[in-house]
Amino acid sequence: MYAPLSNLIDALSLGVIWGFETTSSEKGGSVKQMESSKGKRRHFCKTVIPVRGCSFFILVAILIGGGWLAPPPAAAGEAIINCDAHNGICTQSSGDLSVSLEISPRPVKAMQDLVFRVTLKGTVPASHPHIDLGMPAMKMGPNQVVLKPIGPGTYEGTGVIVRCKSGKRTWFANVVVPDAGEVKFIFDVIY
């Protein structure tokens, strides 16, 4: 949603740096050291391109720069990965609740039985937690992992992460703890 704005800012800063460097390398003593940045830009326009097209040139540069610097559309809505599930246990807190998630076997692959182990600290849930699996900014259909207690504050259940037709590999496991909160682990899987 905010990509066009950030592209514009990127393009503007790139244009300013480019203009500044071009001016600096070309001034060769003829341009005074203390001139304002506005003066530098005018100098850049006069030397590099005819004055008349300067504003238009800058506008076009911004548009082209924005296009070149734009991340692929796929990356725009991507959530930030906050768990390296291939490496071991991930832990997150929400208020008094501390939630650890371990997925095995590792590395974590799609289309195979996975064991999800959740360990809670600081909160005794009203009932057993569960996990909702999904993909950021995508509707993948319900995929819930039922968890059963295997020890004090520790729960386990099995589930399968499917292969997304889009080719994206970023999934989340939203651990829902009844009456205590929820924590979302975002991680990459292997297809």
The residues that touch Cu ion, with contacts defined as CB under 5 A, are 135, 138, 140, 164
> Considering the complex, what minimum distance in angstroms separates the CB of residue 76 from Cu ion?
15
Q: Which is nearer to Cu ion, 32 or 139 (CB)?
A: 139
The residue at minimum Cβ distance from Cu ion is 164
Number of other CB atoms surrounding residue 88 within 10 Å: 12
> Considering the complex, what minimum distance in angstroms separates the CB of residue 13 from Cu ion?
34
The stretches of the chain forming alpha helices (DSSP H) are 3-27, 37-48, 54-69, 73-76
Q: Which is nearer to Cu ion, 38 or 139 (CB)?
A: 139
> Considering the complex, what minimum distance in angstroms separates the CB of residue 179 from Cu ion?
30
Number of other CB atoms surrounding residue 110 within 10 Å: 15
> Considering the complex, what minimum distance in angstroms separates the CB of residue 163 from Cu ion?
9
Number of other CB atoms surrounding residue 137 within 10 Å: 12
Q: Which is nearer to Cu ion, 5 or 140 (CB)?
A: 140
Q: Which is nearer to Cu ion, 63 or 140 (CB)?
A: 140
Q: Which is nearer to Cu ion, 120 or 131 (CB)?
A: 131
CA 147 to chain centre: 29
DSSP secondary structure code for residue 129 in this structure: -
> Considering the complex, what minimum distance in angstroms separates the CB of residue 166 from Cu ion?
5
- All residues at 6 or more sequence positions from 31 whose CB lies less than 8 Å from its CB, including other chains: 23, 40, 43
